[in-house]
Amino acid sequence: MTATPTTIVTHLPAIVAALTAAHPGAACRIARGAALVAAGAVERVYNVFVVTSASTADRAYVVVRTGALLTCDCPDYANRGGPCKHGWAVVCFEAAERLDAEASDPTVIPFPTPNHDPHADRFELTVQGLAALDAMTNPSA
């Protein structure tokens, strides 16, 4: 399932806030990476991401994910050796895809379930239900 750009963009403010809180020194690059995602500049090709340059026409950078490590072929990454805006764009893109998938998956239930009362949410088997379970576990009876 591929998320649409519109649904991805709706997740970006929360993603940027969480990433900026966790990595305050990278706030500028995180924001620039999110802007690339919002502009539709990130494309996944297997475990490689192609991120279109925001400053140079007809230029794209390749971001490769190897486990938790992201590498990019841009000058910023080459000079600093650390996460560039293209790498942060991939982080934002993947987080938005994950949030979109979770939001559209009916089997994902937030935990703890809101207003969950373990006593009120119990059920009792009827005589017919007990007989059906017994027939399933004891087919010879």
Would you write out the chain's pLDDT as a tens digit for each of its 141 residues?
Answer: 345 556 778 889 999 999 999 999 999 999 999 999 999 999 999 879 999 998 888 999 999 988 888 999 999 999 998 889 999 999 999 999 988 888 777 676 655 555 656 666 566 777 887 788 788 888 775
Whether 127 is in a domain gets the answer no
Whether 128 is in a domain gets the answer no
Whether 133 is in a domain gets the answer no
Whether 68 is in a domain gets the answer yes
Whether 83 is in a domain gets the answer yes
Q: DSSP letter for 45, please.
A: E
Whether 139 is in a domain gets the answer no
User: Helix, strand, or coil here: 51?
Assistant: strand
Question: Residues in the chain, how many?
Answer: 141
Overall number of domains in the chain? 1
User: Could you give the C-alpha distances from 49 to 21, 43, 88, 98, 129, in angstroms and in order?
Assistant: 25, 6, 12, 16, 52
Tokens for 107?
Answer: 């089997």
Whether 113 is in a domain gets the answer no
